[in-house]
Chain A
Amino acid sequence: MQQGTITLDHITKIEGNAGLNVTVVDGKVTDLKFMISDYRRFYTTVVKGKPAVTAPSFLSRICGTCSVSHLFCSIEAVEKSQGIQVTDQTMTLRRLAYDALLIRDHALHLYFFSLPDVLDIDSILDISDDPDDLGYQLLYDSFAIKQLGTDLSNTIIGAAIHAPLPTVGGFLRLPDPTKFPALIDRLEAIRPAVIRGIKCFFNWKAELIRNSDYLALRNPDRYDYLVGEVINTEGKRVPEEQFHNFLKSVVIPYSQAEGYVFSDSKEDYLVGSLARINLNRDQLLPRTKADLGEYLSFFPSNNVYDNNLAQAIEILQAVDEAIDILKTIQIQPETPIKKDPVAGIGVGVIEAPRGILYHLAETDNTGTIINYDVIVPTAQNQINTENDLKKFFNENLHKTKEQLQHEAEVIIRAYDPCMSCATNFLKINWHEK
């Protein structure tokens, strides 16, 4: 039975820096601190005094991997502050670009970060060179999937990271439709590889079950990341504008990121793919559902490891939606909608790959930012992560320190945390008493 304090100095294969301190006394966890340790950049303060139209491009620099999420959420907040309503074509192209993000971003997490956990190896560098090996096949699947996501992004929004073409009111340049047929062919061809990945994570028998509440955006008309109301497991609905009031921020003295609980019940909750599939799986595309079969039977799930399976399912949904859009969209010439600046407040709420993302933009009558706020998914999941880890440690103190350190890392990776958003590795400190 472990006693004292566990230190995990380097949580790897995640996006950002974090640490973990666990203190055990008399066979029980008495203290557990999950510390996000990336240094803050205070961008929401820096952006004040700048023209609102420049905010989205700057704020996409909050995060490298989900920069498109921050870009689109900031654009939505600024558009609402200025009373700008974009065209249906702009929304469709944003959804297409978002599919590209989901394909690349989820594949990076699933195959580069989590697949070694499934294969019980340290790194993709340790995967066999034997083409008949499942790990080899999945790794090379991942190269093709990620590259396709990137190429789709390049075509629609000009880049996968800090995309230059989306702007307030629309697009600075519209995509070239002559490139669509080749992308459709590649998306069709990648489906068997994506389904192979889903099967891999379905067959992974890891389990950590704790009853959590879940929050996700729900659009009554479609499985969506961009438009909707926030709903929870109990069916409570919150308009985007009220989302901030739904939450209570919690200062965590040992972490560089605030945590969040529900403002009424003070309970923790989880956002991200697992929440979305738990709450919105009925809205997956018919073609996607038809190929998922038993893989959907795990949901709703309270097993945090199923966040990986949910991400794999979302890749297929993104591939299928992208095919539909590319086949049907008729690009009409249009330029970004512009309006004279007004004083206003706008809220953007969208689903980033890791969960609900909130941007609030307030401008004066010259269209200058006077107030800005951002709530990111990893910060929202911070308290839920701590509570999951407490349960894990309390139930597994018979294991060796090395096993506990490794499995704690695997749990944290399953959340797909992004420490750049909130904060690359975890430090676990194990204090003996």
Chain B
Amino acid sequence: MSDPATPTPNKKLVIGWFSFTCCEDSTILFSELLNEHFDAWKKLVEFRHVKVIKSNNELRDLDVAFVEGAISSPTQAQEVLDIRNNSKYVVAIGSCACTGKPSASRNDLLPEDITDKIKWYMENFDYSQKVQKLDEVIKVDDYVQGCPMNAASFLTALDKYLKLCGVIPADPTPVNPQPQQ
């Protein structure tokens, strides 16, 4: 229900949410956080590029890009570079973006593990030789660790950028209550 406690700000935090190579567990967790935070976030956040919940997306003038997943190909590297160039801040979301693993596990395969089937995929599509964590490809401003991301850390990061971008006052009261354990 509508949350009268959250005042409507003069500007909203313009965000994007992006997924690369991963299991999208943090995207699912993000969608679950909407159960509790939908009303408050609708007042505070403009979801300019969030493919999991909308079709009309624009990669333009984002305040914060939340990026989940590791980078597996030159195509993905270019996409994430475009995201970086259109965002004031980039936050790496979840284990694969922050550390590469587990999506980067193929980097540890031995030559004898590379079957013809794997070779076929690697050669037929534009796979990079190595899967990279996000900060190996672009500058990253913050990290929300976890597999899936730690929900409390994400809410803390969101509060930080709501304040940093002037959407809410930089007072000590968090807008996003921490989830109950």
Contact = CB atoms under 8 A, between A and B. Distances in A.
A and B form one complex: yes
Interface of A: 10, 12-13, 15-17, 38-43, 45-46, 48, 58, 61-65, 67, 104, 108, 112, 122-125, 129, 131, 139-140, 143-144, 146-147, 150, 160-162, 251, 253, 256, 409, 420, 424-425
B103 interface: yes
Contacts of B109: 42, 45-46
Given A12-B54, A38-B21, 7 more contacts: A13-B52, A15-B28, A39-B21, A112-B34, A124-B53, A139-B38, A420-B22
A256 B125 contact: yes
Contacts of B147: 61, 162
Residues of B in contact with A, size category = 35 or more
Indicate the member of A16, A43, A45, A146 with the most B CB atoms within 10 Å.
A45
Nearest to B113: A45
A64 B125 contact: no
A61 B102 contact: yes
Nearest to B181: A154
Contacts of A58: 102
Given A253-B124, A424-B51, A425-B51, A45 B19 contact: no
Contact of B53 (A43, A46, A123, A256): A123
Contacts of B26: 64
Interface of B: 1-2, 19, 21-29, 31-32, 34-36, 38, 42, 47, 51-57, 72-73, 76, 102-103, 105-106, 108-109, 113, 115, 118, 120-121, 124-125, 127, 147-148
B36 A147 contact: yes
A122 B106 contact: no
Nearest to B148: A161
A143 B38 contact: yes
Contacts of B29: 64, 161
A63 B31 CA distance: 15
Would you list the 4 A-B pairs with minimal beta carbon distance, nearest first? Answer: A64-B25, A123-B54, A39-B72, A143-B35
B54 A39 contact: no
B67 to A, nearest CB: 13
Contacts of A42: 105-106, 109, 118
B23 A64 contact: yes
B24 A424 contact: yes
8 contacts: A15-B27, A61-B25, A63-B24, A67-B23, A150-B35, A161-B25, A253-B124, A409-B55
B54 A13 contact: yes
B27 to A, nearest CB: 7
A424 B47 CA distance: 16
Nearest to B46: A125
A108 B28 contact: yes
Contacts of A38: 21
A413 to B, nearest CB: 10
Nearest to A124: B53
A425 B20 CA distance: 11
B28 A64 contact: yes
A104 B56 CA distance: 25
B55 A256 contact: no
A159 to B, nearest CB: 9
B51 A41 contact: no
Nearest to B149: A161
A140 B42 CA distance: 14
Nearest to B106: A42
Contacts of B34: 112, 143
Contacts of A39: 21, 72-73, 76, 125, 127
Contacts of B2: 129
B31 A108 contact: yes
A39 B24 CA distance: 13
Contacts of A160: 32
Indicate the member of B2, B53, B103, B118 with the most A CB atoms within 10 Å.
B53
A58 B124 CA distance: 27
Indicate the member of A12, A43, A150 with the most B CB atoms within 10 Å.
A12
Given A64-B27, A64-B148, A123-B55, A41 B118 contact: no
Contacts of B56: 122-123
Contacts of B124: 253
A61 B118 contact: no
Contact of B106 (A46, A67, A147): A46
B21 to A, nearest CB: 5
A15 B32 contact: no
A46 B31 CA distance: 29
Given A45-B115, A123-B54, A15 B24 contact: yes
B23 A125 contact: no
Given A41-B106, A147-B36, A12 B51 contact: yes
B128 to A, nearest CB: 9
A369 B28 CA distance: 30
A374 B181 CA distance: 34
B36 A161 contact: no
Given A64-B28, A112-B31, A147-B36, A122 B54 contact: yes
Contacts of A409: 55
Given A10-B55, A43-B105, A146 B19 contact: no
